[in-house]
Amino acid sequence: LQNPEYAAVVDTLASDGPDAFYTGEIAQGIVESATSDADGMTPSLMTTADLAGYTPVVHEALCAPYRDTLVCGMPPSSSGGVAVLETLRLLDAHDLARFAPDEAGPDGALPDPEAVHLVSEAQRLAYADRDTYIADPAFTDIPGGVEVFLSDDYIDRRGELIDPGTSMGTAQPGELVPAMALGADLPEQGTTHISVIDADGNAASATTSIEAGFGSFHMTQGFLLNNQLTDFSAEPVSEDGEPVANRVEAAKRPRSSMSPLLVFDRGEGEAPGDLRMVLGSPGGSLIIQYVTKTLINIVDWDMNPQQAVSAPNFGARNTPETGLGGEHPLMSDADDLVSALEDLGHEVTEDDQSSGLSALVVTDTGIIGGADPRREGIVLGG
């Protein structure tokens, strides 16, 4: 497969820098393609001035402790870092190690129902906050910033809502001012993730997306244009008239669920120690569940990275439904797991879950990795 048009774009960016993307011939080609109504496609309102005026924003990573690690993720406008870290902070009060599977094979192992219950309940609380409050930080005003969702006092209050014996079904968001309304998510199919550690120990966890499969279907100069604006909530206000945090506004960045993680040993004070792992996944709003499952498999249940990413997916958004990845071969023996969850008040679904996890773990003898068999992943090293 050859793509000479895209090769020319990459060569231009390498020689002329990022300004060549936002101005000049490349930008003109993007706008011409985006505004085309050929073959019945919906034209964009984008202009060359829009591209020329766009500025990427660099944020500090959002970090929080979990067990003996420091987990660092992506802050808003991605919701992934906040939701994953809030989930982990809530779970830090529970001894998940006692629910470790008896034996994990190449495909991991079925999780213990009590572990699924605790993880799902923590995720319901985190998703309730995420759905209500998280959006482009330039357009939201959360007193204390998003770090409030990870503070000891807030986590203690939210954690009291977890009942070890009964599912809460649907959680209410924490009470913050100003109040916001829930915003719905749309599924995505056009995301990918790569985890990298080089010979010098430098690491990158990168998730990229064009949102839907083939994005907007507009193509120029060998690459597809995204339809990322569908990450906004479609309705600006709720039925009660409250504004939705992730509503469409001019010059606003839509909320994503990207959850690339860098995980370190706990260092002195708040400083990170040595790098322990790199992980992430595609999967829309379920990314939050996928990376949480993988990290727990490694940190709490001592799985290797391939077992951890291959193991059954599980978790819950803020609905009464608790999802188990029905595509997994071990789910054919999951009747007892399902029954136990139902006894705890869960409405269990077994839909296929298309994660694309990749994880690298630093050990005393080298780096080992795992690639999700559910998509076209691979582990390479040299």
Mean pLDDT over residues 298-303, rounded?
98
State residue 178's pLDDT score. Answer: 60
pLDDT-derived band at 269 (thresholds 50, 70, 90) equals confident
More confident residue, 187 or 48: 48
Mark whether 40 and 97 lie in a shared domain. no
| Within a domain: 381 | no
DSSP letter, residue 291: H
pLDDT-derived band at 188 (thresholds 50, 70, 90) equals low
Angle, nearest 10°, between helix axes 152-159 and 80-91? Answer: 70
State residue 370's pLDDT score. Answer: 98
| Within a domain: 144 | yes
Q: Give the model confidence (pLDDT) of 212-265 as tens digits.
A: 888 888 999 999 999 888 899 988 988 888 889 999 999 999 999 999 999 999
Mark whether 163 and 38 lie in a shared domain. no
Burial letters 276-301, b for 16+ CB under 10 A, else e: bbbbbbbbbbbbbbbbbbbbbbbbbb
Task: Identify the domain boundary among 52, 73, 90.
Answer: 52
pLDDT-derived band at 270 (thresholds 50, 70, 90) equals confident
Query: Cα dihedral sign for 342, 344, 348, 354?
Result: negative
Q: CA–CA separation, 35 vs 45, rounded Å?
A: 6
Q: CA–CA separation, 62 vs 72, rounded Å?
A: 5
Task: Answer yes or no: is pLDDT of 181 > 80.
Answer: no
State pTM to two decimals.
0.94
Q: CA–CA separation, 258 vs 56, rounded Å?
A: 16
Total number of domains in the chain: 2
Q: Give the model confidence (pLDDT) of 103-157 as tens digits.
A: 999 999 999 999 999 999 999 999 999 999 999 999 988 878 999 999 999 999 9
**Angle, CA of 330, 375 and 87, to the nearest 5°:** 70
Q: CA–CA separation, 129 vs 154, rounded Å?
A: 11
Is residue 276 helix, strand or coil? strand
| Within a domain: 13 | yes
Mark whether 72 and 213 lie in a shared domain. yes
Mark whether 214 and 303 lie in a shared domain. yes
Which residues face 361 on adjacent strands? 277, 368
Q: CA–CA separation, 378 vs 56, rounded Å?
A: 30
Mark whether 122 and 262 lie in a shared domain. yes
CA separation (Å) from 364 to 22, 272, 276, 295, 368?
A: 44, 18, 10, 19, 10
Task: Answer yes or no: is pLDDT of 187 > 80.
Answer: no
| Within a domain: 379 | no
Phi, psi of 17 (to 5 degrees): 85, 180
33: left (phi over 0), alpha (psi -120 to 50) or beta: alpha
Phi, psi of 287 (to 5 degrees): -50, -40
| Within a domain: 280 | yes
Mark whether 288 and 144 lie in a shared domain. yes
CA separation (Å) from 252 to 20, 77, 236, 248?
A: 23, 9, 13, 7
State residue 268's pLDDT score. Answer: 82
Task: Answer yes or no: is pLDDT of 4 > 80.
Answer: yes
Mark whether 94 and 208 lie in a shared domain. yes
Which residues face 368 on adjacent strands? 361
Query: Cα dihedral sign for 103, 274, 126, 190?
Result: negative
Mark whether 198 and 226 lie in a shared domain. yes
User: What are the tokens at 274?
Assistant: 């040595």
pLDDT-derived band at 184 (thresholds 50, 70, 90) equals low
Q: Lowest-confidence range among 234-248, 280-294, 322-336?
A: 234-248
**Domain span including residue 30:** 4-52
pLDDT-derived band at 325 (thresholds 50, 70, 90) equals very high
CATH number at residue 283: 3.60.20.40
Mark whether 32 and 100 lie in a shared domain. no
| Within a domain: 380 | no
Mark whether 326 and 210 lie in a shared domain. yes
| Within a domain: 24 | yes
Strands 366-371 and 358-363: antiparallel
State residue 182's pLDDT score. Answer: 54
State residue 180's pLDDT score. Answer: 54
| Within a domain: 378 | no
Mark whether 227 and 301 lie in a shared domain. yes
Neighbours of 327 (CB within 10 A): 16
Residue that the structure tokens 């019945």 belong to? 40
Neighbours of 355 (CB within 10 A): 26
Mark whether 80 and 113 lie in a shared domain. yes
